[in-house]
Copies of this chain bind each other. A is one copy, B any other.
Amino acid sequence: MEKSDHVRAADTSLRILQLIAFSDVPLGVTQIAAQVGTAKGAVHKHLRTLGDHGMVAQDPVTSLYSLGPKIWLMAQKAPPGRTLAELALPLMRVTRDELGLAVVLSVPTARSAYVLATLSSNQPIEIGVRPGGELSLHSSAQGKVFLAFGDPSLPESLAPPLERFTPKTQTDVGSVRAELEQIRRQGYATAPEESLLGINALAAPIFDSRGQIAGAIGLIGSVQHLGSQPSDTQLDGLLRLTAAISRRLDEGSGGVSKPSPAP
């Protein structure tokens, strides 16, 4: 029971939706059916359902499917990423140009660091992650930042077995928890070769106006450019970036504490 209690039909509908969303061109029923591994007929029914809800739209002439208007409408009501990514991206670009490393913005999830936006390094060999990807909590720098500065219940949910990605991945819950204390003290986390051999990451938290963690910035690079002991330049660039984003988040949100209205 790796994935215990699902709603199978809803799952396939969402997989279809994701496929359409992340495709650059409109898709046909046959391609979709092949990619999600379901019969054409079933996929067609799902597309009909998604269309009834305005999540996808079918071009009346080519009969190909693409995203519908409701997606955009929903995003208007989704504050988590909206303001954050829009604020952060221009600042991230500056830091990328200064340091020459890939810069990644992610938000915390119950089981991962969810990648909202990435800027590739300007090095000849590109290193990066795709938006929409998920970084594990225990083996990525951004994940460990969320464990250290995020909700206290998050580290508690860490339970063996921790997946091993490389020989250097920390798979012992105890040692991961021990590292969190150090991360809190120094204000940043690293994960040398813990997700992928040859690759290191350096990450620091972003806080909102209430002092809650809102996301994290990660710098990604090969061990050649980003050592397990980050250089002062890199560390300074990262911390100035996260501080700047946190500051802008505060300004935007009225400043003081934010009471939630009664129903």
Measured CB to CB, the closest approach of chain B to A143, in angstroms, equals 15
B50 in contact with A153 (CB, 8 Å): no
Q: Report yes or no: B54 in contact with A114, Cβ–Cβ below 8 A.
A: yes
Interface members, chain A 26-80 (any B CB < 8 Å): 42, 45-46, 48-55, 57-58, 60-61, 66-78, 80
A228 at the interface (CB under 8 A from B): no
- Assuming the A-B contacts A10-B50, A53-B14, A69-B109, are A5 and B45 also in contact, with contact meaning beta carbons closer than 8 angstroms in the complex? yes
Question: How many copies of this protein are present in the complex?
Answer: 2
Q: Which residues of B have CB within 8 Å of A202?
A: none
Q: How far is the CB of A117 from chain B (nearest CB, A)?
A: 9
B contact residues around A185 at 8 Å (CB): none
Q: Is A151 an interface residue (CB 8 A)?
A: yes
- Partner of A25 from the list B50, B60, B261 (CB cut-off 8 Å) is B261
| Docked pose: A73 CA to B18 CA in angstroms | 10
Q: Point out the residues of chain B lying under 8 angstroms from A24, CB to CB.
A: 261
Tell me whether A45 and B6 are in contact in the complex, defined as CB-CB below 8 angstroms, given that A13-B14, A75-B75 are known contacts: yes
Encoded as 1 (CB less than 8 Å from any B CB) or 0, chain A from 142 to 183 comes to 000000000101100000000000000000000000000000
- Besides A21-B77, A66-B80, A69-B107, 11 other A-B contacts (C-beta < 8 A): A9-B10, A10-B10, A11-B49, A13-B14, A21-B73, A22-B74, A54-B114, A60-B154, A68-B109, A72-B81, A76-B131
